[in-house]
Amino acid sequence: MTRGKIVLVPLMLLVMLLFVVVAVVVVVAVVAALLVFVVPPLTAMLLALVKRLMAAKH
């Protein structure tokens, strides 16, 4: 019985480590995708807004 437990603990630790690694990779991928897809339109919108404000002021 003790032998099974000794084998089980490292396995659980390995699985937890794997889950952590996968979670980190997923988060990084999502952030990268957001940066790639969201930032250009946002910057374009901001630039357009700034240009409009400048035009309105002048």
What's the half-sphere exposure (Cβ side, CA atoms, 13 Å) at 37? 6
For the chain, domain boundaries: 1-58
Q: What is the DSSP string of the chain?
A: -HHHHHHHHHHHHHHHHHHHHHHHHHHHHHHHHHHHHHHHHHHHHHHHHHHHHHHHH-
The pLDDT tens digits of the residues spanning 3-57 come to 667 778 889 999 999 999 999 999 999 999 999 999 999 999 999 999 999 999 8
* Confidence class for position 2, pLDDT limits 50, 70, 90: low
